[in-house]
Amino acid sequence: MNDDSQKEHKLGQWRERALAFEQEIQKAVIGQERVIRLVTIGVFARGHIMIEGDVGVGKTTLLRAVSRALGGDFARFEGTVDMMPSDILYHTYLGDDGRPRVEASELLRLADTLPVFFFNEINRARPQVHSLLLRLMAERSVTAFNRLVNFPYLQVFADRNMVEREETFELPAAARDRFFMEISMRAPADPEARRSLIFDPVFQDVDLLLDRVAPGTVDYREIGRVARAIQETVKASPTLQSYVLNLWRALTEPASVGISLRDVDVATLVKGGASPRGLATLALAARVRAWLEGRDYLTPDDIKDVFLEVMAHRIFVDPIHALRGDEPVKQLCQAVFDTIPVP
């Protein structure tokens, strides 16, 4: 067996583990197959993820299940208006002798074994905290106690409080762009899933739920190597590459390709975003999606399936349209796909 065949064989084995990984998470989180697939794509692309959703839809349970299935530790911090960057790195207390003590935080203590770090209500925290978090995301390292602490396996997950706007600090566009995906998590639509969530006692006991998840279904220490192999193996044809470039042009210059939206001046709609980094991220996600589907080549469906979650938060529109939330961007993305011919 030559090197290429051996790599494909190993990737095939890892694909089976990845699918088993999804199945294990579904034992604890029901009715969220789409969300679990997107998180799996993020895991095997080594990307940080923003998860948005109402209170009580299972975001923390999902991420604890992900951590357990990866066989690693889990750390969670709550964003608060009085939080400072130092709160993430250490905590102080009075010892038995009455003297103050300073100890490393849970985040630092778990640095070598931590694949999932969940920052809850990130917009409750101040920009100084965001700055530290963005360094952690970009470099997977922080400086604390006069030394550099590395987080070789870390992926950051965050969510935002989308209901209460008082005493919140929204992430600027450049900061949101650092997230690989923004995933929307809603209560399941399936009536039976809803019935189970309300009346099955097991869903009221998170620890019991997590006991259903087999620990270490995939080894978090191997994810980086597998992620690189996926990107090297899954290919994009010249035709597919041209298709993505056409989508890019349509996003940034919608008027130039004949796109029109009701009550929107598309010539002035897009003010920025959809950068080369964003499109490169789209390709990363699409390759993992293709791999999970059992292919070593990209198709337009791979691009379309992850497009909104990867690209929508990277498109910055005129402030007058931003008042309508995400709707103008979603309309633009749909119009782009309707306008650009599929190869």
Spatial neighbors of 237 by CB under 8 A, at least 6 apart, are: 297, 298
Q: Cβ(162)–Cβ(52) under 8 Å?
A: yes
Q: What is the pLDDT of residue 330?
A: 86
Tokens 């309707």 sit on residue: 338
Over residues 124-146, mean pLDDT: 92
| Separation of CA 249 from chain center | 25
Residue at 14: amino acid letter: W
Q: Which residues, other chains included, contact 165 with Cβ-Cβ below 8 Å and sequence gap of 6+?
A: none
Helix axes 33-45, 59-70, angle to 10 degrees: 50
pLDDT value for 92: 81
CB contact at 8 A, 70 and 220:
yes
pLDDT per residue as tens digits for the range 144-189? 888 999 999 999 999 987 777 667 888 887 788 899 999 999 999 8
Residue 322: predicted pLDDT: 64
For 116, phi then psi, to 5°, come to -130, 115
pLDDT digits over 52-99, tens only? 888 888 999 999 999 999 999 999 999 989 999 999 998 887 878 878
Residue 2 binned pLDDT confidence (cut-offs 50, 70, 90) = low
C-alpha closest to that of 265 among 224, 221, 186, 318: 318
pTM of the model: 0.93
The confidence band for 4, taking pLDDT boundaries of 50, 70 and 90, is: low
Number of Cα atoms under 13 Å in the Cβ half of residue 117 = 28
CA-only gyration radius of the chain, Å: 21
Contact between 27 and 213 under an 8 Å Cβ cutoff? The reply is: yes
| pLDDT score recorded for residue 56 | 85
Q: Which of 234, 318, 223 is nearest to 283 (CA)?
A: 234
| Helix, strand or coil, per DSSP, at residue 315 | strand
| pLDDT for position 241 | 96
Residue 112 pLDDT greater than 90, yes or no: yes
- The amino acid that residue 258 corresponds to is G
pLDDT tens sequence across 29-55: 999 999 999 999 999 999 999 998 888
Query: First and final CA of the chain: distance in angstroms?
Result: 34
Cα(191)–Cα(32) distance, integer angstroms: 13
Average pLDDT, the chain: 90
Q: Which of 242, 257, 236, 230 is nearest to 336 (CA)?
A: 257
Spatial contact of 45 and 285, defined as CB atoms under 8 Å apart: yes
For 297, phi then psi, to 5°, come to: -145, 155
Which helix (H) or strand (E) element contains residue 49?
Answer: strand 49-53
C-alpha to C-alpha distance for 116 and 107, rounded to whole angstroms? 10
Q: Answer whether 250's CB lies under 8 Å from 257's CB.
A: yes
Average pLDDT over residues 191-217: 92
